[in-house]
Amino acid sequence: MPDLLRQEVIAAANIVVVKVGTRVLTHADGTLDEMRIARLAEELNEIKQSGRRVILVSSGAVGAGMSQLGLAKRPTDLATLQAVAAIGQTKLIETYDRTFRKHGRHAAQVLLTAEDLDDRQRYLNVRNTLLALTELNAIPIINENDTVAVEELATTFGDNDRLAALVTNLVRAPLLVILSDVAGLYTGDPAVSSSQLVPLVTALDETVVGFAVDKKTGHSKGGMASKLRAAKIVTAAGENVIVASGHEPGTLGRIMAGECVGTLFVAQGKSISPWKRWIGFSATPRGKILLDEGACRAIAQNGSSLLAIGISGIEGTFSKGDVVALCDLQGRELARGLTNYPASEIDRIKGLKSDRIAQVLGHCPYQEVVHRDNLATV
C-alpha cells in the first residue's frame, strides 16, 4: 500500500540517483549477473519514462572483469585488481547499453576519482556534464575510476555508497535509492529471526548506527555501516534516502509508486546550497581548527561564523582559502569551512578578540576566521 510520507518524497524527486552494489550485480562466485543488470536497466528506463532524470552509480566492474577473464577468485594485489576492473568496465557498460538501446536510450559512462569532486572547477564540470546527459536520451552510469584510484594517494572515495551520496549532493537530487543485498536497515543481523526491518529513520542517532551489521564476503567494500554514512551525507544536505533490496524484481517500481519498501531516511532540515554541499562533503579538509565549547555550540546550533576568540588550537598546515575541519577539543568534526587566514596566523590570534587581530598581525582583513556563508555543518 502507498505510504503518504513516501508519496510526498517521490512526488518531489525530479532527479533520482540509484546506487547498486556488487553483491546485487554478481553471482555467488563474484562473476557478473547479466540477467540482473538487464532487469535493472528496464526499471531505470521506466523511471526515465515518468519524466524524471535518472543517474545510476553502479559497482560491478571487477565482477564483470572476472567473467571476461574466467577468473574463479577476486584478485588481491592492486595492479591486477585495477587491470581486471579496466577490462570489466567495458563489459559492464555494454550490458547496460544493450538494454537501454531497446528503448532508444544510451548508457553514458562516467568514471570519477575523489580528486574530481575535491577541486571546485572539476566539481562544477562534472555536475554540468551529468545534468546535460540527463537532458539527452541517456542515463549516466557512474563508477569509481578503479584503474587509477589509489587509496594511498587519497584519490579513492572508499566505497560506492559514499560516491553515490556525493553524486546525489552534486546534482541536488531529492532522492537516493541504494539497492542492497538486504531489504533495508534491521534492528540486528538480518539473518536472525528476532531482527526487525526499520521502515523509517527520522534521525541517524547512536541507536540507529548501532543497528548496522556488516557482512564481509570479499566481493564488496560496502555493508550497512557505509550505507548509514551515505545516508548521513545526503540527509544532512536536506535530501532523502531509501535503502532496499536489489534482488527482488520490481523494487524500483514499487518505490516510485510510494509503497513502503525498505528503509526511508528522511531529510534533516532544508536543502542546502550547492556551495555549502561542496564545502561540507566533497572538498577534502587541509587541516583542523579546534574550538572551545562556546564556539562549538554557536556553530552546531546556530551556524554562526567562527571568531578567533573561540579557537583553542590548530592541526596541520593550510593556507588562506583552504577548506578546514572545525572540531571540538576531542577532535570530533562539527563543520567544515573556508578559512580566511593561514594556519600560521591563526596560531598567533587564537583565543583573541577580533579587535586585537590587527595589533598582533599588523592587518585585519577579516573579523571572522571562517564566515558563516562559507561554513557547512556535517
Indicate whether 40 and 124 sit together in one domain. Answer: yes
Asked if residues 340 and 303 have their Cβ atoms less than 8 Å apart, the reply is no
Euclidean distance between CA atoms 117 and 245, whole angstroms: 29
* Runs of H (alpha helix) within 1-135: 4-11, 22-25, 34-49, 61-69, 78-100, 114-118, 120-135
Angle at 265 between CA 63 and CA 255, to 5 degrees: 65
Q: Are 198 and 221 members of one domain?
A: yes
Tell me the three state secondary structure of residue 260: coil
Surface-to-core class of residue 372, CB atoms within 10 Å of its CB (0-12 exposed, 13-18 middle, 19+ buried):
middle
Domain count within the chain:
2
Terminal Cα distance for the chain, rounded: 35
Of 276, 297, 323, the residue that ends a domain is 276
Pairing, β 263-265 against β 200-201: parallel
Task: Say if strands 333-338 and 323-327 run parallel, antiparallel, or are unpaired.
Answer: antiparallel
Question: What does the alpha-carbon distance between residue 2 and residue 259 come to, in Å, rounded to a whole number?
Answer: 4
Tens digits of pLDDT across the chain (378 residues): 568 899 999 999 999 999 998 889 888 887 888 899 999 999 999 999 999 999 999 988 888 888 889 888 888 888 888 888 889 899 999 999 999 999 999 999 999 988 899 999 999 999 999 999 999 989 999 998 866 655 543 445 668 899 999 999 999 999 999 999 899 999 988 888 888 999 999 999 888 988 885 545 444 445 888 999 999 999 999 999 999 999 998 999 999 999 999 999 999 988 899 999 999 999 999 999 999 999 999 999 888 999 999 999 999 999 999 999 999 999 999 999 999 999 999 999 999 999 999 999 999 999 999 999 999 988
Residue 151, pLDDT score: 52
Range of the domain at 327: 285-377
* Residues whose CB falls within 8 Å of the CB of residue 190, separated by 6 or more in sequence, listed in order: 182, 183, 213
pLDDT for residue 119: 92
Same domain, 83 and 36: yes
| Residue 210: partners with Cβ closer than 8 Å, 6 or more residues away | none
Q: How many angstroms separate the CA atoms of 50 and 69, rounded?
A: 38
Q: Say whether both 264 and 293 belong to one domain.
A: no
Same domain for 254 and 302, yes or no, is no
Cell digits for 335? Answer: 563543520
**In a shared domain, residues 136 and 243:** yes
Residue 92: CATH number of its domain: 3.40.1160.10
Q: Which residue has the cell 518505490?
A: 255
Distance CA 99, CA 175 (A): 24
Which of residues 230, 245, 276 is at a domain's end? Answer: 276
Query: Which amino acid is residue 167, in one-letter code?
Result: V
Q: What per-residue confidence (pLDDT) applies to 44?
A: 95
| Residues 334, 328 contacting (CB under 8 angstroms) | yes
Question: What cell numbers appear for 267 in the block?
Answer: 531529510
The CATH number of the domain holding residue 297 is 2.30.130.10
Is residue 328 a contact partner of residue 296, using CB atoms and an 8 Å limit? yes
3-state DSSP call for residue 202? Answer: coil
